[in-house]
Amino acid sequence: MNPDGPLVLIVEDEAPVRLFIRASLAAHGFRPIEATTEPEALAMTDRHRPTLILLDLDLPAAQGVELVRTLRGSTKAPILVISARGQEDDKVAALDAGADDYVTKPFGVNELLARMRVALRYATTIDEPRKATAALSFGGLRIDLEQREVTSGGRAIRLTPTEYRLLVLLAQNAGRVLTHRQIQEGVWGAGHADQPHRVRVYMAVLRKKLEDDPAWPRHIVTEQGIGYRFREASSA
C-alpha cells in the first residue's frame, strides 16, 4: 500500500461492499480506513483526520444525513456520499447537509475514483493557495472579485447583480454539486428556497452570456433532480 497516498475513510456497514471499495482504493494508491457505524465514523475521523470521506447513506437507522452534518462540523475533508437508486431525497438532503458530491449505486471503480480525484483537487486548491484570491479563473472565463467584472476570452461580460451573485456562488463551489436549495439560499438568502423556477431562468441567462454554445454548456452543468454544478471547461 502506498504509505503516502491520501487517507480515505470508508463508512459502510455492508461487508462485501466495504471490502470491494477497500481493495479498489488500495490498488490505486489510497490508504483506506474503515468504519461501520456512526460513532465509529466520528471516532475515526477525529483520530485519523482522513483526507476524504466515503459515506454510504444506507446506514442502519437511516442516520446517514445526520452523520454528514456532524462530520461536516468536525472536518473540512470532502465527503462523498454513496446512495442507491431511488434515494434521491436522501441524496439531496445529504448534499444540503454539507456533502460535496455523490455516487449512485451500482457504480464502477473508475467512476468512484474520478469523483474522488475531482473532490480532492478542488479541496486542495481551495485550501493550499492561502494567498488572497482576487480573481477566479476557469479557462477563458475570469471573475474579478475586486472590480466585480467578468470577462470571457478577453471580452467583458455585463451581468446584473443577481446574475453576478449566482455566478460567483457557482464558481466558488466549482466541482461541487449545489442543490436547488443551496443555490437559492446563497443568492436570495434564507427563506427564499421554494422557487426553483427562478433559478432555471437565471441559469439560462448565464449560459447565454457565458457559454459559447448555450445548448451544450461547458461550465454550468445540470444535475437532474439535484441542482447544478460548475466545472472547468472540458475539452469540449
Residues in touch with DNA (CB under 7 A): 159-163, 180, 188, 195-198, 200-201, 203-204, 207-208, 214-215, 222-227
Among 108, 139, 140, 196, binds its own copies (CB under 8 A): 108
The answer to whether residue 140 forms part of the interface with its own copies (CB under 8 A) is: no
Between 40 and 211, whose beta carbon lies closer to its own copies?
211
Task: Say whether residue 146 binds its own copies (CB under 8 A).
Answer: yes
Q: Grid coordinates 465527503 are at which residue? A: 79
Q: Which of 19, 2, 1 is nearest to 10 (CA)?
A: 19
Phi-psi region of 158 (alpha: psi -120 to 50; beta: other; left: phi over 0): beta
For residue 18, the cross-strand partners are none
Termini Cα distance of the chain: 36
* Residue 56, beta-bridge partner list: 82
We find the least distance from the C-beta atom of residue 40 to its own copies, in angstroms, to be 27
Q: Among positive and negative, which fits the CA dihedral 195, 199, 204, 209? A: positive
From 6-14, 27-35, 37-45, 62-70, give the range in contact with its own copies by CB under 8 A: 27-35
Task: Give phi and psi for 108, each to the nearest 5.
Answer: -90, 160
Residue 200 binds which entry of its own copies, DNA, none, CB below 5-8 Å type-dependent: DNA
Query: By C-beta, is 50 or 186 nearer to its own copies?
Result: 186
Out of 74, 110, 124, 125, the only residue in the binding site for its own copies (CB under 8 A) is 110
Q: Is 134 in the site for its own copies (CB under 8 A)?
A: yes
Supply the minimum distance, in Å, between the C-beta of residue 149 and its own copies: 6
Query: Are 118 and 125 contacting, i.e. CB atoms less than 8 angstroms apart?
Result: no
Q: Which among 145, 169, 143 is positioned nearest to 156, based on CA atoms?
A: 143
Q: How far is the CB of 167 from DNA (least distance, A)?
A: 12
Closest CA to 136 of 113, 167, 105, 111: 167
Q: Which of 17, 145, 205, 226 binds its own copies (CB under 8 A)?
A: 145
By CB under 8 A, tell whether 215 contacts its own copies: no
Look at the chain and count its residues.
236
Q: Which is nearer to DNA, 124 or 222 (CB)?
A: 222
Tell me the sheet residues that pair with 31.
Answer: 7
CA 217 to CA 170: how far, in whole Å?
Answer: 14
The stretch near its own copies (CB under 8 A) out of 46-54, 61-69, 95-103, 141-149 is: 141-149
Which residues here bind its own copies, judged by CB under 8 A?
Answer: 27-29, 84-86, 105-106, 108-111, 113-115, 117-118, 130-134, 136, 144-147, 149, 156, 161, 168-169, 172, 185-186, 188-190, 224, 231, 234, 236
